[in-house]
Structure 1
Amino acid sequence: MEIHVGRIRVHYVEHGTGRPVLVLHGAGVDHREAEACFEPVFDGVAGMRRIYPDLPGMGRTPAPVTLRSAEDVLGTLLDFADGVAGGAAYLLIGHSAGAYYAQAMAARRPAQVAGLALVCPLLPGLRNIPEHHVVVGPGEGEGEVGDDVFRGYFVIQTPEMLDRYERYVAPAAALVDPAALERIGAQWALAPDHAAPYAGPAAVVAGRLDSTVGYAAAIDLVDHYPHTSLAVFDDAGHALPHEQPELLRAVLVDWLTRVAGAGGGRRPGGGGAG
């Protein structure tokens, strides 16, 4: 599916009906990774319309030269959310760079965001980022598996994780516009937001072994959001949504329950995925 946001044609897929849930992927991939990782969260959860856009310069969403900064991307995403949500309040889930934009969207439009979930979030002030450490790898004498990107992304390097990488992560590489990402990345910092912290139900999930963004900065968000749950998973890196799906689902189902309890929609469970 596609929707025009200004001069940009944003490509997205969606599943189900009900309250909109926008799920934003990270850098260098496209909607397929987010879809593969987060659709299982909604198994058995009724009344949720899950929307997975390709961010500009990735997947099938182009990034024209007029898109020159993270602020420009943020404006596009806010307009996209307005267009697909049709004025309804929506939930936001972001992974990595997608979480960076999701956090800013909630800060800029808090009345439109019914709940916010940040997974392995890219944040200002990253610190104490650990070295990459493989928890589970090939057995003795088996040799290395996957390519350099896989080995630098996953800390659990089993055949199952390699299959997920080859199905949901690697295919996006051919669709990335590297010039656009470099142009936007050169001005990646978003303007400070001086509004009160987002006060809706929030969840923050981080991997203790995340060698891309670490977990220390994510912990700080507990003091930033007054209604947040925090989980830091051991044996998980930046590919946490692949590596620890059951733990992630538990945290996000709790978050969905809190969203429903805050008046944000029907309680999870008791129906099909829609």
Structure 2
Amino acid sequence: MPFCHVSKANIYYEMIGEGMPIVMLHGYSPDHRLMKGCMEPIFIEREGWKRIYIDLPGMGETTDYEVINNSDEMLEAVKEVIHSLIPNEPYLLVGESYGGYLVRGIMRDNEEEILGAAFICPLIIPEKQRRTVPEQRIILSDKEFISTLTKQELEDYSSHLVVLDEHHCNRYMNEVVAGQEKADVNFLEKIQQNYSFSFPVDETLFEKPCLFLLGKQDSMVGYKDAFDIIEKFPRASFTILDKAGHNLQIEQANLFNSLIDEWLDRVVEFTD
């Protein structure tokens, strides 16, 4: 398996395709399969993109991360991976949830290298008690499918999805839960004690094409807090999708694909 050794971790990664690099950062506790599951379909008909999927420290196949103590050090590990794998190259970033928080940290110090960024249900405010979030609710469900579930399965799906049917639940299990089962829970709890960066993360304007995809029913990070930073991203589309929770990329797959495609088109126009 391919690994990239950095100062405080041995980072697992997968690199697919050739061309402009796009670095994909998943959220807290899953692994690279979350990003691969939603992003690879985009590139079936798009050539010229090098996709780099990594497992964040404490998640997936990444090892030797125990000395990392906070989000600042998580960020440094990710920045080291990027500069090791694609030194002196411009690149794009895509971050989901906590990965979106890390993307904003990378932007702070590496703005010139970054050509654009996409945020999927991004974590805006690390402190849970300060977030503005809606209550978890089910928007659509397949009663026949639900009747086949155990009580525990139904509770799990109902807590994390807003559309309950076989297709969405299978994707959730294969792309999200499969990664969560590999997570180092004790390590992740340690990082959550110092979950916020030690520095202000949204101080400067980022004037390159961006995309914020927000779930109207996202009970984990919500959607309203993202608009507090809208002025920092003058070239960003901010899209709130109905019938979408914290797994927006699964529950609104067609719109997700279209909006990511449109963002990539804007990046190409910007760089031409």
Return the TM-score normalized by structure 1: 0.91
* Aligned: 1:79 with 2:83: no
Point out where structure 1 has 5 or more consecutive residues left out of the alignment: 266-274
**Aligned partner letter, 2:134:** P
Residue matched to 2:147 = 143
Moved more, 66-75 or 102-111: 102-111
Identity between Structure 1 and Structure 2 (%): 29
Residue matched to 2:184 = 177
Given that 2:8 and 2:68 are in contact with CA atoms closer than 8 Å, whether structure 1 keeps it comes out as no
Secondary structure of the structure 2 residue equivalent to 1:73: helix
Secondary structure of the structure 2 residue equivalent to 1:111: helix
Residue matched to 1:162 = 169
2:145, 2:88 → 1: CA distance? 57
User: Relative CO higher for 1 or 2, CA cutoff 8 Å, sep ≥ 6?
Assistant: 1
Deviation at 1:140, TM superposition (A): 6.9
2:180, 2:268 → 1: CA distance? 37
Aligned structure 1 segments of 4 or more residues deviating by more than 6 angstroms:
none
Deviation at 1:170, TM superposition (A): 1.9
Select 1:130's aligned residue among 127, 134, 137: 134
Change (3 A) 1:201 1:144: same
Deviation at 1:62, TM superposition (A): 2.5
Secondary structure of the structure 2 residue equivalent to 1:94: strand
Given that 1:211 and 1:237 are in contact with CA atoms closer than 8 Å, whether structure 2 keeps it comes out as yes
2:9, 2:60 → 1: CA distance? 13
* Aligned: 1:231 with 2:239: yes
* Aligned: 1:29 with 2:36: no
Deviation at 1:156, TM superposition (A): 0.6
1:34, 1:79 → 2: CA distance? 20
Secondary structure of the structure 1 residue equivalent to 2:143: coil
Alignment coverage as a number of residue pairs: 264
* Aligned: 1:262 with 2:266: no
Deviation at 1:235, TM superposition (A): 0.5
Moved more, 163-172 or 176-185: 163-172
Residue matched to 2:216 = 208
Point out where structure 2 has 5 or more consecutive residues left out of the alignment: none
Given that 1:106 and 1:116 are in contact with CA atoms closer than 8 Å, whether structure 2 keeps it comes out as no
1:151, 1:230 → 2: CA distance? 26
Deviation at 1:111, TM superposition (A): 0.8
Given that 1:206 and 1:231 are in contact with CA atoms closer than 8 Å, whether structure 2 keeps it comes out as yes
Deviations 1:138-180 (A, max 9, x none): 3179537335333211101100011112222222233111111
1:8, 1:240 → 2: CA distance? 30
Given that 1:138 and 1:144 are in contact with CA atoms closer than 8 Å, whether structure 2 keeps it comes out as no
Return the TM-score normalized by structure 2: 0.91
